[in-house]
Amino acid sequence: MSDLPQPEFLVLHSPACTAIWEVSQTEAPLWRYWGPRLPERAVPGEALRSTRPEPSFALHFDQPLSLFPGIGMGWFGSPALEAHRAGQDWTLQITQCRVVRPDAETVQFHLRDDVALIAATVTARLDPDSDVLTMSTALRNEGDAVLDVQWLASGGVPLPADSASVRSYGGRHNNEFVPIDDALTRSTWRRENRRGLTSHECFPGAVVTCHNGKAYGAQLGWSGNHVSQIEWADDDRWHWQMGEWLAPGELRLAPGATIETPEMLATCSEEGANGVAWNFHRAIRQRIDWPGGTMSPRKVHLNTWEGFYFDHDEAALKELATSAAEIGIERFVLDDGWFAGRDDDTSSLGDWWPDPAKYPQGLGPLADHVTALGMEFGLWVEPEMINRDSELFRAHPDWVLATPGRPLLEARHQLVLDLTRPEVSDYLYGKIAALLDSLPISYLKWDHNRVLTHAGATPLYRQQILAAYALMARLRAGYPQVEIEACAGGGGRIDAGIVRHSHRFWASDCIDAVSRAPVQRAFLQFMPPEVMGCHVGTSPAHSTGRSQSMHFRAGVALPGHFGVEFDLRKVTGEEREELRRSISTYKTHRDQLHGTRVWTGEAVGGLLWQAHGEAAELLLFLIRTLPSDGRYPPQVALPMVDPNKRYRLSRDGAEDMVLDGGWLRQVGFAAPPMKGEDVMLYRVTAL
């Protein structure tokens, strides 16, 4: 035993996770444990420093991993903060720590560096209902000069020494959520997003798998630039940090000013990636602000985009609505192309009033037609954007985000409005509110179809995101019955930040069901199925040219928030009946598909499976995108079933199977022969 004072341990437990810090009044709390739930009394007995000898040629003062690691004072890994005042005050070492417990689940560490003159409050909350640890940091400049902040972590967690690999996600427009598997080595693993919005290229979340099968997950609740970094620490643990990526000069804190980071959501599970997904689903569900307080059944959508693009003809759209209502569609979303002069993607963003040429009497007649059919009416907008060829740009060319001396860079012929200017946000609020006031709109699809490049004379990336959140919040406050869908060229804005203001994500512009199946699978690692926009597209698919059956297209879309996106009037006969049946199946099962637990897995030969519900009552999808190369169909083992029960597996058109739970869990049931591009739906019920 050393002569160090007896340490104090601060412990947070949730049903399945535990976080433990070693706390003293004179330094940042030391990370002692983050992982699966420990028994109530299982605190580390001794101070960390008394458990490890001084290595050769090392500093005499040991600097273990803390919740707010410093710089220049013996911690050689990534710090929580990199900042300076005109080149001074750059070293960081917390000298004071005060702990406040607002409630049993939450701890606030009030930290201060008396030399650097900064104060930081790190808030950590381990949620008992989701097993997710949420961390965020508020930083205050207590000096008398501006503090230039280059990096401020939202939070950081330790990962155990047997952490083996990390799966993150990359991609592009039309090809989101491509898994990137990296081994964890002593080289730092880092993913950065500098595109100004969440991005297709770098989803702000990842899952780490350990050699013993445990998994750790983290995601950042933020819709802008970000960093996710895992660094090996000298004591063989790993340090996983997340935070905003800050452009040079972006964060300059005036004396006395405070800045708050977005939240980092971290979790872990002994059930591997499936357990991590379950925890995230529960945490995300808590963040969604549903109209009326609770989720209502997710209505079947008809979206006009791929069926009509910019070619809006009021009479044809009314026919479409009639045709949609007839097969059970519940919400009609009028996509891009409805506003003044919008005949293609070169013009009119910013001019948010109905095109008098296409809609001589405004959108009222179409919206009334839709609602008279018993459907809801939704409308597409892209508020942050502007085309040069627009009334708005002609009136206010100075409203765009620009850097003096630099050319304006267009993407999809559009520029970005500077939402941080109150007059710009007021203009957008006014235009959208006028539509909401005058039309029976209960749904907005909120798009963002380009990256942010030069965001202002001084970088306004983070301010732009905060202003977008504020605009959404203002609209939600004024029109609480209106749901919002977050879209950015498909899945470019899917994150735990914008989910506080939205109710659905458009996962990808690629509606080819073969391509879509893995996108949805990855989406479900972080987000629950009820917010996963899934449409039945046309055949051949516009994004890939591949043709698929209605049965397969609908089957792949079924588990999410279901919709249809083609010109329904052109689909007749058996295909139309098949779609009608799928809509009815969706309505029958949506209460079990949504708001419940989801497990995903893969059997030998690329057979994907996905189960929704509770272990005693599951809806099980078998999804085959490619033909099998095996001699026999694979066995599908279901890890969630109770080995002490028996289960009935039923599927329309097939004999029921009854299997012992122990067998089903370890060996599985024999999947039926399936060709490529097929989906089957089972009910698995405990007897």
In the window 293-322, what residues touch ligand GLA (CB under 6 A)? 305
Per the CB < 8 A criterion, the answer to whether 21 and 7 are in contact is no
**74: left (phi > 0), else alpha (psi -120 to 50), else beta?**
left
Closest to ligand GLA by CB, 506 or 526: 506
Closest to ligand GLA by CB, 420 or 449: 449
Site membership for ligand GLA, residue 64 (CB under 6 A):
no
In the window 448-467, what residues touch ligand GLA (CB under 6 A)? 449
Q: Write out the DSSP string of 65-81.
A: -BSS--BSSS--S--SE
Could you tell me the smallest distance in angstroms from the CB atom of residue 386 to ligand GLA? 14
Closest to ligand GLA by CB, 7 or 563: 563
How many Å separate Cα 609 from the centre of its chain? 22
Q: Considering only residues 231, 335, 512, 530, which one is a binding residue for ligand GLA as defined by CB under 6 A? A: 335
Nearest to 29 by CA among 101, 106, 109: 109
Closest to ligand GLA by CB, 200 or 612: 200
Identify the sign of the CA torsion 602, 532, 267, 105.
negative
Check whether the bond before 529 is cis (ω within 30° of 0).
no
SS3 558: coil
Burial of 292 (0-12, 13-18, 19+ CB in 10 A): exposed
Could you tell me the smallest distance in angstroms from the CB atom of residue 339 to ligand GLA? 11
Closest to ligand GLA by CB, 344 or 437: 344
Q: Considering only residues 156, 489, 601, 633, which one is a binding residue for ligand GLA as defined by CB under 6 A? A: 489
Site membership for ligand GLA, residue 336 (CB under 6 A):
yes
Amino acid identity for residue 144 in this structure: D
Which is the catalytic residue, given 127, 447, 495, 678? 447
Site membership for ligand GLA, residue 495 (CB under 6 A):
no
447 flagged as catalytic: yes
Q: In what order do the strands lie in the sheet with 8-13?
A: 8-13, 17-23, 30-36
Site membership for ligand GLA, residue 380 (CB under 6 A):
yes
Residue count at the site for ligand GLA (CB under 6 A)? 11
SS3 623: strand
Site membership for ligand GLA, residue 169 (CB under 6 A):
no
Q: Tell how strand 175-183 and strand 189-193 pair up.
A: unpaired
Could you tell me the smallest distance in angstroms from the CB atom of residue 568 to ligand GLA? 17
Per the CB < 8 A criterion, the answer to whether 386 and 412 are in contact is no
Closest to ligand GLA by CB, 7 or 489: 489
Closest to ligand GLA by CB, 335 or 483: 335
Q: Considering only residues 232, 377, 506, 566, which one is a binding residue for ligand GLA as defined by CB under 6 A? A: 506
Tell me the residue number closest to ligand GLA, measured at CB.
336
Closest to ligand GLA by CB, 490 or 661: 490
CB atoms within 10 A of CB 11: 18
Binding segment (CB under 6 A) for ligand GLA, from list 130-138, 263-271, 361-369, 485-493: 485-493
Name beta bridge partners: 620. Answer: 611, 682
Nearest to 441 by CA among 503, 505, 366, 513: 366
Which is the catalytic residue, given 351, 495, 509, 678? 509
Distance, in Å, from the CA atom of 241 to the CA atom of 465, rounded to the nearest integer, reads 21
In the window 391-450, what residues touch ligand GLA (CB under 6 A)? 447, 449
Nearest to 435 by CA among 396, 482, 399: 482
Site membership for ligand GLA, residue 490 (CB under 6 A):
yes
DSSP label at residue 491: B
Q: Tell how strand 331-334 and strand 163-172 pair up.
A: unpaired
The DSSP H or E segment spanning 314 is helix 314-326
289 flagged as catalytic: no
Site membership for ligand GLA, residue 31 (CB under 6 A):
no
Site membership for ligand GLA, residue 350 (CB under 6 A):
no
Q: Considering only residues 509, 512, 677, 678, which one is a binding residue for ligand GLA as defined by CB under 6 A? A: 509
Distance, in Å, from the CA atom of 305 to the CA atom of 307, rounded to the nearest integer, reads 6
Binding segment (CB under 6 A) for ligand GLA, from list 320-328, 393-401, 423-431, 484-492: 484-492
Q: Considering only residues 166, 197, 487, 664, which one is a binding residue for ligand GLA as defined by CB under 6 A? A: 487
Closest to ligand GLA by CB, 419 or 487: 487
Nearest to 533 by CA among 500, 504, 511, 556: 504
Site membership for ligand GLA, residue 485 (CB under 6 A):
no
Per the CB < 8 A criterion, the answer to whether 277 and 527 are in contact is no
Site membership for ligand GLA, residue 338 (CB under 6 A):
no
Binding segment (CB under 6 A) for ligand GLA, from list 397-405, 483-491, 604-612, 632-640: 483-491
Amino acid identity for residue 50 in this structure: S
User: Hey, which residues are catalytic here?
Assistant: 447, 509
Site for ligand GLA, rule CB under 6 A: 305, 335-336, 380, 447, 449, 487, 489-490, 506, 509
